[in-house]
Chain A
Amino acid sequence: MMNKKYSSIGKDEKKIDALALATGSRRFVDDFELKHCLHCKLIYSPHAFAEILEIDDSAARAMGGVVDVLSYKNTPQILHTSAGQGFPEPSPYDQYLFDKTVRFVGDRVAMLVAESPVIAEAAAKKIKVRYRLREPLFDPEKAMDADAPKLHGAECYTPIGASYDPQRNLAAEVDLGFGDLKQGESDADLIIDKTYRAHYGSHCAIEPHSVKTYFDEEGRLVILASTQVPFHVRRIVSRVCEFPIAKIRVIKPRIGGGFGGKQEVLLEPLAALVTLRHKRPARIVLSREEVFQNSRTRHPVRVRLRTGVKKDGRITFLEMDSLLNSGAYGSHALTVLSNCGSKVLPLLNKIDHLHFLGRSVYTNLPVGGAYRGYGATQGYFALNQHLDILCRELDLDLPEYLKKNHIREGETSRVFEALGEGKTGVRQYVNSCKLDECIDICTREIGWYEKHGKRIRQDDKVRGVGLAVAMQGSGIPLVDMGAASIKMNEDGSFNLDIGATDIGTGSDTILAQIAAEVLNVDLAAMIVLSSDTDRTPFDVGAYASSTTYVSGRAVRKCAEKIRDQIIAVAAEMLDVPAGKLQLAHATAEDPESGKRADYPEICRYAMYTANQFQIHAVASEFVEESPPPFLAQTVEVEVDTRTGAVKLLKLVSAVDCGQAINPRLAEGQIEGAAVNGISYAMTEEYLFSPNGSMINKNFKNYKIPTAADLPEIKTFVVPSHEPSGPFGAKSAGEIGINCPMPAIANAIFDAVGIRLFEAPFTPEKVYKAMFAQKDSQ
């Protein structure tokens, strides 16, 4: 796997913070001790839709140790979005920190502030709230009906001027296409029209959302946040708390997983307000139940796919109609919706007539947000099953069909240009695509041609295999920006300061590897500081699979500037023209004369000897394209025909993420995402009571797998090189979650001939479908 050209790139370097984490010395937000800290407890609505008539906090305030009660009455009323995106946000401004109207079971009503968590908890129970109930809206399909309850008023708006109409509960709309569907229809030999439903899901980062705030010695507000977006936190807190950016410092310590859930800026403004009001440190840490119900989720999306096909399999037209349930607020409603098309449809780039209609609607249910896969997961659930259906109808081999029809190197898709992140996209060509190799590895490893269609049976158990493929992106073109700063120390070590936000992915490590590669030093020479808004340059944060590609390019560019400075100093020192010098291991040398100077000598010269200066550089990069990584996954399942229980026997992933900077960390990303995808497919679901309240908000009843629940998982990182990436790299963070659900659905069909259009694939669901099938025969 290791590339001989490189010293650090392509090497399984150990994650630089791993030992400190394994021994418990590196700290997460709640591990920082703050003296005289105030503890906060949020109070939530038990109703799906209601007006608050009165909040009686007298009994709570009368309790010893209660310091404050925050509600709409005493907090700034500034419309904003908690989505945690760049400026201006593509999500509608439709929420206040606290509102007079509550819009889902679990919406915020007030926040108790007390001297201890125990007091906060006890006092929270004493808050009496009177509500006027309103008719709730639960069915996204009815959200746009004329007589549907309206969740939001006309004061809400979208800062980017996107399609938005609160009068119709429409949080976002995307409508685009090309060609002529009528033509496509008349060219078709067969039309396949199916509807697929991707469901709610919770990120389940094991560290719950946490924030601590305090004033430092100089009266600046410090926010220790479990966030994916420290710089956006600073900007958003400044705006909604009406406190200047110059007086805010956001520090991201270690983060216990994010997966999109910690892009949302939910708690930071609240803790900040408490510190601003009381001049004391404040702490908010959500309980697991709160994370499930009150933070953010994966948007459920209903996807209808209608395609026309010729007998040979050629698709004459494709129509995708996506209805996204945004829940009570429009966080990421536009961009997740867009990605449901823009990250999915370019895969089949040979379709002449195409239409994508997407709508995000409000309902009185939990709020969607960013979640690994970001709409693509929902879209691929539909597309991969649809293509399986198509191949079965026409008696084609799915792997061969995919290889024939997917986008290839040197090709483009009209969708890239037509659809971006909530606006028109960017024209781009695919310059690296090893999807064929990925498909071959996956089919070989699962034994596709020995098993597919064979329905291998043992007693009541039948086996089947399934395949799914996907692409994603690497950052948002023309939007995402990352920056790095490097300075040299006199022992030849370097401080690498990056805005990029390591939330457990290992980005600190791989960005250091990129710098170490350019500077020709060991990884140990890099001292990494990331995501402290006072200390590091800007970065948009950890989302959209952007860090390796976008921030990685910034690091590379910055390291190249340092390299040039090192060479210039060495040239002066050694009296050799700069052009003759080359970097060997931590040394500049002139191969001709044999003159050489090592890094400590060079830095000492720059610091102490002549024309003194600090070897230091800053660089930033924004990107014009978003090269997609590609993935194939195959699974084998065993269905118990008596009980409907589906057992996953094996999952194989093969990914083209360009040159993997650190193959082991890249594998880890794919494995983690794949297992998240498996559990989304098999067990995870939100169960609601009739009043819209989530009833399974704990790990006992919302099952995510342990090591004991999982089958053999194999991951292959396919050799590839993306010309525009840093050392050929693309992204790996999100894509792995896109395929398990459709691959398993396809495998279940392969085993027992039932098509499941909605997960999770519980025994009940499978059994019922088998039963219904028997009935209809």
Chain B
Amino acid sequence: MKRTLNINRKDIELRFDPAESLLHTLRNHGYTEVKSGCEEGECGACLVLLNGKAVNSCLIFTSSLNGDRILTAAGIGTLHEPHVIQQAFVDCGAVQCGFCTPGMVIASYALLQENPEPTEAEVRRALSGNLCRCTGYVKIVEAVLCAAERLKSER
């Protein structure tokens, strides 16, 4: 099948199998920053923003989409132009293996869009769909709070 989606602010034509998940379609088209950790909606490594909402891309059929807007971690910021959240993850030591990080960044981005000044408990709740086995979350939570602070002073 073929569909055009707006991925990271560009219209992209995608080719995919009818029963394919958005996760696979994205990865097959080079968006490998979207990771696969379970393919059953439990780990959040595959998180993307779909029309501004954070979703597990492994649970969505690509065929159910048409013209929708998708943002991945690489669409939020790049090595040369990192987003404040990504930089905060780096600065706070929140990245260990980094496999969960793109998903964590998306979850944090979605949270801070909606709630720019979250409490620690709110951060923890917002990240409750994302598993990390390396960090124990201490520094990830710190990073999100730090990003919120930095974004606030930018405003």
Contact = CB atoms under 8 A, between A and B. Distances in A.
Interface in B26-80: 27, 30, 32-40, 42-43, 45, 72-74, 77-79
A14 B90 contact: yes
Given A22-B101, A254-B98, A707-B140, A206 B78 contact: no
Interface in A257-303: 257, 259, 285, 287-288
B97 interface: yes
Contacts of A33: 30
A24 interface: yes
Interface stretch (A438-446, A475-483, A500-508, A521-529): A500-508
B141 interface: yes
Contact of A21 (B30, B101, B132): B101
B98 A14 contact: no
B123 A256 contact: no
B98 A706 contact: no
B105 interface: yes
A162 B33 CA distance: 46
A732 to B, nearest CB: 13
Closest 4 CB pairs of A and B: A24-B33, A504-B97, A21-B98, A256-B99
A715 B135 CA distance: 12
Contacts of A287: 39
Contacts of A257: 96-97, 99, 133-134
Given A23-B78, A288-B38, A668-B135, A707 B87 contact: no
25 contacts: A17-B98, A18-B89, A19-B90, A21-B95, A21-B101, A22-B98, A22-B105, A24-B73, A25-B79, A26-B98, A204-B133, A206-B37, A207-B97, A208-B36, A254-B99, A288-B42, A288-B43, A503-B97, A504-B98, A664-B139, A668-B93, A671-B137, A700-B40, A704-B131, A708-B125
B97 A256 contact: yes
Nearest to A27: B32
A698 B74 CA distance: 28
Nearest to B96: A504
Interface in B13-28: 17, 19, 27
Nearest to B103: A206
B37 A208 contact: yes
Interface in A81-118: 118
Interface string B80-109: 001000110111010111111110010000
A268 to B, nearest CB: 19
A713 interface: yes
Interface in A12-53: 12, 14-15, 17-28, 30-31, 33
Interface residues of B, number: 56
Contact of B95 (A22, A206, A288, A708): A22
Given A25-B33, A700-B42, A672 B17 contact: no
Contact of A665 (B91, B93, B141): B93
B112 interface: no
Interface string A116-150: 00100000000000000000000000000000000
A255 interface: yes
B129 interface: yes
A586 interface: no
A671 B33 contact: no
A706 B93 contact: no
A205 interface: yes
A754 interface: no
Interface string A568-609: 000000000000000000000000000000000000000000
A38 B45 CA distance: 25
A688 interface: no
B27 to A, nearest CB: 8
A207 B90 contact: no
A710 B125 CA distance: 11
Contacts of B45: 206
A675 interface: yes
Given A23-B79, A33-B30, A208-B37, A706 B136 contact: no
Contacts of A771: none
A699 interface: yes
B93 to A, nearest CB: 4
A667 interface: yes
B125 to A, nearest CB: 5
Given A205-B99, A707-B124, 6 more contacts: A14-B93, A17-B95, A21-B95, A25-B79, A206-B35, A667-B93
Interface string A208-238: 1000000000000000000000000000000
Nearest to A665: B93
Nearest to B78: A23
Contacts of A748: none
Contact of B43 (A23, A26, A206): A206
B134 A707 contact: no
A545 interface: no
Most buried by B among A259, A699, A715: A699
Most buried by A among B19, B95, B129: B95
B138 interface: yes
B36 to A, nearest CB: 7
Query: What is the interface of chain B mostly: helix, strand, loop, or mixed?
Result: loop
B73 A23 contact: yes
Contacts of B82: 19, 22-23
Nearest to B28: A33
B113 interface: no
A667 B137 CA distance: 12
Contact of B42 (A203, A671, A698, A710): A698
Contacts of A27: 32
A676 interface: yes
B36 A668 contact: no
Contacts of B133: 203-206, 257, 259, 672, 676, 704
A674 interface: yes
B147 to A, nearest CB: 11
A699 B130 contact: no
Interface in A635-688: 664-665, 667-668, 671-676
Interface in A699-722: 699-700, 704, 706-710, 713, 715
Nearest to B20: A118
A640 to B, nearest CB: 21
A204 B27 CA distance: 22
A338 B123 CA distance: 43
B128 interface: yes
B7 interface: no
B95 to A, nearest CB: 4
B127 interface: yes
Given A21-B95, A22-B86, A664-B93, A207 B37 contact: yes
Nearest to B92: A664
Contact of A713 (B37, B86, B95, B136): B136
Given A24-B72, A674-B136, A708 B98 contact: no
B131 A206 contact: yes
Contacts of B19: 118
A256 B74 CA distance: 18
A699 B40 contact: yes
A713 B138 contact: yes
A26 B99 CA distance: 10
A288 B58 CA distance: 13
A553 B132 CA distance: 31
Nearest to B85: A22
B45 to A, nearest CB: 6
Contact of B86 (A12, A23, A255, A715): A23
A366 B72 CA distance: 37
Nearest to A17: B98
B66 to A, nearest CB: 22
B95 A15 contact: yes
Given A206-B131, A208-B37, A706-B128, A28 B99 contact: yes
A14 B42 CA distance: 29
Given A12-B93, A24-B102, A118-B17, A708 B128 contact: yes
Interface string A175-219: 000000000000000000000000000011111100000000000
